[in-house]
Structure 1
Amino acid sequence: MEDILEVEGKPSVEEISENAPQKKEETLEEMLSRHRKEISQLQNKEMALKKAAAKGSKAEQKAKKKQVEEEISHLSAKLKEKHEEELAFAGCSSTNRREKGDLDSLVKAVAGVSVTNRVDKSKPSKSVQRREKRAQQEAAREQRIQEEQRNIVSERATENEKLERKLEPLGLAINEIKPDGHCLYRAVEDQLALHTGGSSPYTYQQLREMTATYMRNHAPDFLPFFLSENMGDAQSNNTPAERFENYCREVESTAAWGGQLELGALTHCLRKHIMIFSGSFPDVEMGNEYKSEGGNGLSNSTIMLSYHRHAFGLGEHYNSVVPNSLE
């Protein structure tokens, strides 16, 4: 199973967690930028490992997926610790050296708590104080991001495990969709291609345009829900109708993430029953009027999606759900 942990063209475990390139004299801004890049590399590695694990028998795939989850969790924790240590050094003066393994002292230093006495007792200038304060605030912020990232990895693993247990008895599996803001429409496009046995009759962009057009033409059905979900825009000078129109423009011409409103429009545009599986929330059905029961309770033309609350550190995400024989 070791072969699934090596993916051509992707950074290795050591490259991500230990040997990331560092400049000899690295500013705090450069360090934070590198940290973000290393987190992104780890997310890309996770996707690559998942694709590599989706091969072999059902039992082999399950074992490989578990190994991937464990490996990513380990790498995430290791990367977090490495970043914390680097940030701690950046938050200390040149005379403040840490004892080996004294991570608590480093964390206090990042938070702006003195861990040793300064050799220079003179009061720093206001400009120096401001720079130090900004550095400490940025370092503390970076630590919070790292902690959130570690929590997301753990929550994602739990969510994926629950979803797998739900789909496996149905003979279903996840087909990963690119997380680029178009995931809902790309997932629907993938399902339509599955139904036709070839290519989808609509691209993800055409699905966006169809969704926006349907919402405009049936504004009374969507406007109350739109307003309830966008209470924060109530102070806008635009009328509710104008705000809704701006929202529809975003649906058809940007990478704005799609949700329940868009799913409601799609089910009527396509005249399809839509089933959304989730490991975090109860499953949702839409468009029951278009449902034609099959032997397993799902129609052959049902669009099956999975909703992920904790995906890739990016938040909400949709994937396509397919028969496990096609995974």
Structure 2
Amino acid sequence: MEDLQARHRKEQRDLQSQITQKKKQASKKTRKGVNDECEQLDAELREKHAAELAALDGEPNATGGTDVLGEPLEDLTLKVDGEEATNSTDGTQPAQDDISEPTPPPPPQVHNDGLPNPQTKKPNKAKARLAKRALEQEEQARQAAEEAKDLPDLKQQERARMLGPMAERGLREKEIRADGHCLYAAVADQLEQLEIPLGSGSGEAGGPAYKAVRAAAAEYIERHPDEFEPFLEEPIEGYLYKIRETGEWGGQLELMALAKFYGVDIHVLQDFGRVEKIGGAGKEQAVWLSYYKHGFGLGEHYNSLRKAG
């Protein structure tokens, strides 16, 4: 149970980071659709966790704990004695390794006269339905894995489409570690190539360069809240804390802040050779980044593009 709860907390943290990134990159036109998608993802994860908890022991969480978002786990537990159990109807697939085998019911107690004990507890119908559903989902997951073998490799295709535009512009890629700090680390690498100081936070106690870039982004947003608050769905104080102190992903807003803080144009090379220009400094020197949607394990990712040769 402890291992299962630890994995649930990690999956919830990962999903929260994914939802935050999606919302930050949403435009006014797509915001409603993105919010609906994020709510659906959250609901699907909760239903998956409910199924796994129930499949493990068939009982509600006796500790009365909360998930990593601080919400009660009551809605994740299985109801008993004939009540309906939380069950996914949207086709969400739990991972095959996460499904536990249902425990067979114990044999009925028998009196000395050979007749069943009338006080024997009746089988939990909700628990049985959930176990049946888990087996169905396991089979669906197996079929999906078989079908995925014939799908195109999106990572390989996206990478191939990026190489040509890089060569045309005389650029080569400096791969950045995919750890949540990639945008800031890629910008730091570019600024160092251009011999632009990272800021007062660079080099403190031998800390990584991306921390100075994170501090710069937070500082600019803090000084110019009116430029960013209309795009935020949380208080700006909490948003700034995530930039400075956590591994929260960076996106469009952070690139805008960094372009203005350092007085540079930021060019982002994307799939099919499309280049997005952020800033407006008009200087000859510019920061070049590559952006991948499918190329890395965490999903969206930024690398630094240096001059070839």
Report the CA distance shift for 1:289/1:192 in structure 2 as closer, same or farther (over 3 A).
Answer: closer
Report the CA distance shift for 1:162/1:251 in structure 2 as closer, same or farther (over 3 A).
Answer: same
Structure 2: 5+ residue runs without aligned partners?
8-95, 97-122, 203-208
Looking at structure 1, the residues matched to 239 and 144 of structure 2 have their Cα atoms a distance apart, in angstroms, of: 32
Specify which of 305, 309, 316 is matched with residue 300 of structure 2. 316
Matching of residues 1-327 of structure 1 within 5 Å: 126=125, 127-138=127-138, 140-141=140-141, 144=144, 154-196=153-195, 202=202, 203-224=209-230, 226-227=231-232, 230=233, 243-280=235-272, 282-292=274-284, 299=285, 302-325=286-309
How far 1:129 sits from its partner (Å)? 4.5
Structure 1: 5+ residue runs without aligned partners?
1-28, 34-109, 111-123, 231-241, 293-298
What secondary structure sits across from 1:291 in the alignment? coil
Looking at structure 2, the residues matched to 206 and 149 of structure 1 have their Cα atoms a distance apart, in angstroms, of: 43
How far 1:319 sits from its partner (Å)? 0.4
Report the CA distance shift for 1:146/1:190 in structure 2 as closer, same or farther (over 3 A).
Answer: farther
Tell me if the contact between 1:309 and 1:317 (Cα under 8 Å) persists in the aligned partners.
Answer: yes
Query: Could you give the per-residue CA deviations for residues 263-282 of structure 1, whole angstroms, max 9, x where no partner exists?
Result: 00001111222111111573
What secondary structure sits across from 1:250 in the alignment? helix
How far 1:283 sits from its partner (Å)? 0.7
Tell me if the contact between 1:182 and 1:255 (Cα under 8 Å) persists in the aligned partners.
Answer: yes
What secondary structure sits across from 2:305 in the alignment? strand
Report the CA distance shift for 1:148/1:282 in structure 2 as closer, same or farther (over 3 A).
Answer: farther
Looking at structure 1, the residues matched to 181 and 272 of structure 2 have their Cα atoms a distance apart, in angstroms, of: 21
Report the CA distance shift for 1:160/1:206 in structure 2 as closer, same or farther (over 3 A).
Answer: same
Looking at structure 2, the residues matched to 150 and 250 of structure 1 have their Cα atoms a distance apart, in angstroms, of: 40
How far 1:130 sits from its partner (Å)? 2.8
Tell me if the contact between 1:304 and 1:320 (Cα under 8 Å) persists in the aligned partners.
Answer: yes
Which one-letter code corresponds to 2:298 in the other structure? L
Higher helix share: 1
Pairs aligned (count): 182
Which one-letter code corresponds to 1:246 in the other structure? G
What secondary structure sits across from 1:257 in the alignment? coil
What secondary structure sits across from 2:140 in the alignment? helix
Tell me if the contact between 1:190 and 1:200 (Cα under 8 Å) persists in the aligned partners.
Answer: no
RMSD across aligned positions (CA): 3.3
Looking at structure 2, the residues matched to 155 and 312 of structure 1 have their Cα atoms a distance apart, in angstroms, of: 11
Tell me if the contact between 2:156 and 2:295 (Cα under 8 Å) persists in the aligned partners.
Answer: no
Tell me if the contact between 1:280 and 1:308 (Cα under 8 Å) persists in the aligned partners.
Answer: no
How far 1:143 sits from its partner (Å)? 5.8
Tell me if the contact between 1:184 and 1:317 (Cα under 8 Å) persists in the aligned partners.
Answer: yes
Tell me if the contact between 1:186 and 1:204 (Cα under 8 Å) persists in the aligned partners.
Answer: yes
Report the CA distance shift for 1:219/1:149 in structure 2 as closer, same or farther (over 3 A).
Answer: farther
Report the CA distance shift for 1:287/1:130 in structure 2 as closer, same or farther (over 3 A).
Answer: closer
What secondary structure sits across from 1:289 in the alignment? coil
What secondary structure sits across from 2:228 in the alignment? helix
How far 1:257 sits from its partner (Å)? 0.9
Looking at structure 2, the residues matched to 194 and 272 of structure 1 have their Cα atoms a distance apart, in angstroms, of: 13
Query: Could you give the per-residue CA deviations for residues 12-57 of structure 1, whole angstroms, max 9, x where no partner exists?
Result: xxxxxxxxxxxxxxxxx99xx9xxxxxxxxxxxxxxxxxxxxxxxx
Q: Percent identity?
A: 33
Query: Could you give the per-residue CA deviations for residues 81-114 of structure 1, whole angstroms, max 9, x where no partner exists?
Result: xxxxxxxxxxxxxxxxxxxxxxxxxxxxx9xxxx
How far 1:131 sits from its partner (Å)? 2.1
Looking at structure 2, the residues matched to 210 and 283 of structure 1 have their Cα atoms a distance apart, in angstroms, of: 24
Looking at structure 2, the residues matched to 307 and 189 of structure 1 have their Cα atoms a distance apart, in angstroms, of: 15
